[in-house]
Amino acid sequence: MNISTLRLDSNPITTATATHRNGILGCNGTYSCRFNQFRQRKKTPSVIVCSTKPLASVVDHQGVNESGMSRIESLSQVSGVLGCQWGDEGKGKLVDILAKHFDIVARCQGGANAGHTIYNSEGKKFALHLVPSGILNEETLCVIGNGVVVHLPGLFKEIDGLEANGVSCQGRILVSDRAHLLFDFHQEIDGLREAELAKSFIGTTKRGIGPCYSSKVIRNGLRVSDLRHMDTFPQKLDLLLSDAAARFPGFKYGPDMLREEVERYKKFAERLEPFVADTVHFMNDAISQKKKILVEGGQATMLDIDFGTYPFVTSSSPSAGGICTGLGIAPRVVGDLVGVVKAYTTRVGSGPFPTEIMGKGGDLLRFAGQEFGTTTGRPRRCGWLDIVALRFCCQINGFASLNLTKLDVLSDLPEIQLGVTYRHPDGSALNSFPSDLRLLEQIKVEYEVLPGWKSDISSIRKYIDLPKAAREYVERIEELVGVPIHYIGIGPGRDALIYK
């Protein structure tokens, strides 16, 4: 390798790759020009001879060695990170690590019900809900796509918090003009709806996600683009609020509420305008310009409105199909998808959980893994890794690889179980994850028991250095689901990742 092609920055790469990373989108529209201005603010590092050592000895500031760089750089132009369970798998961390190698990070669905916890290079913790997890990487542009429902007070609070902690958001976030607006009253209705359901409640985050998507589907919702027409905005909002008041007697609506909301949203519209974009045009233009795009999923496949444990699901499509509908890009451009799965299983809220560990065992796992919701703070239900559900998720999404997270949490256990088969009460095996909730209540889970490793693995950075029992656990999962595990999380920090 010609060492004169190395750049003196935190991520030594070849000239060809560096040209790509520092390239500028052509000005084929307003938003491409905006991307140009964003890129031009960055200084291109000088090209000098910085080392006579081979690249294998170089590790970037995130702890990515040659093996990790190879994995990351082999990802396709449009790649995605999606959850494989019931959410909270640790998607944000992988997105944050990968974002340094992508031009754009985009959210395609969900809303502030997502809670992605990430850490910067100094170890400072950030909890993100609407802003994509690529925001900590200063050369990454973040897109909130048309499939996302946006609560503007929450978005501005998040942006203000990032700015207060030294993370610049100006010119780095685009919000789709087609995205639907989530109002405070949607959150109030979410609580009223849960109260109506009584013992059959869903266990939502009460962030108003379901009611907002309901408004979208029955076609009386308001979109970001409506903020540009304040002459008709009050009438549209009045129809929306009147409909909610007619449906929920506990929701008190009157002229004062409408007047106050309109005044609030006039101010919001002014502040939001610099962020608003036709993101469908922007994304497709970026693809034609060969820019690298990473899609960040919220929630997970087992919460998918179609494929999850309905009705105990979210209101969007967190599986692969949601990428195209939530960003307006063609299926043929979507490449490698990475599924994120915990080394065990957790779930927040109500609904089936076949491998749940009840009692003290579940409590021990919860405290060892600090399993409390980023969005709500609620304790998560904990259980063994469910291979049947994981295989189902892999089948739906066509994952190229998996990121197994929080393997370190299992380090103190003398033995570890894998839920490998669902059986009917008569002992016959099910072929796949069932849609019938009554059947899910009746099934018996068949487990494989593997030995634990009883040692701290949080400081290990090479796969070969993991205890034999830990490697056997990882490889057994790969064997059972038929998808390779390329990334293994062994702690919360950016560097606590093993590339396999």
Cα 403 to Cα 169, 340, 408: the distances in Å are 28, 5, 14
Backbone angles phi, psi at 351, to 5 degrees: 120, 165
Two tokens, residue 226:
């409506």
The answer to whether residue 88 is catalytic is yes
Strand partners, 150: 181
Tell me which H or E stretch contains 240: helix 233-247
Distance in angstroms (rounded) separating the CA atoms of residues 410 and 455: 9
Distance in angstroms (rounded) separating the CA atoms of residues 353 and 386: 9
Q: Residue 140 carries which side chain, given as an amino acid letter? A: T
Distance in angstroms (rounded) separating the CA atoms of residues 452 and 467: 9
Q: Where are the beta strands (DSSP E) in 251-296?
A: 276-277, 293-296
Cβ-Cβ contacts under 8 Å for 81 (sequence gap 6 or more): 91, 94, 95, 98, 294, 295, 296, 297, 337, 338, 340, 403
Handedness of CA 39, 82, 474, 361 (dihedral sign): positive
Cα 148 to Cα 228, 273, 372: the distances in Å are 19, 17, 24
User: Are 251 and 188 contacting, i.e. CB atoms less than 8 angstroms apart?
Assistant: yes
Handedness of CA 437, 438, 439, 444 (dihedral sign): positive
Distance in angstroms (rounded) separating the CA atoms of residues 471 and 463: 8
Angle (CA) 443 444 445, round 5°? 120
**Secondary structure of residue 160 in the 3-state scheme:** helix
Among candidate residues 101, 116, 151, 186, the one labeled active-site is 116
Q: What is the set of active-site residues?
A: 88, 116
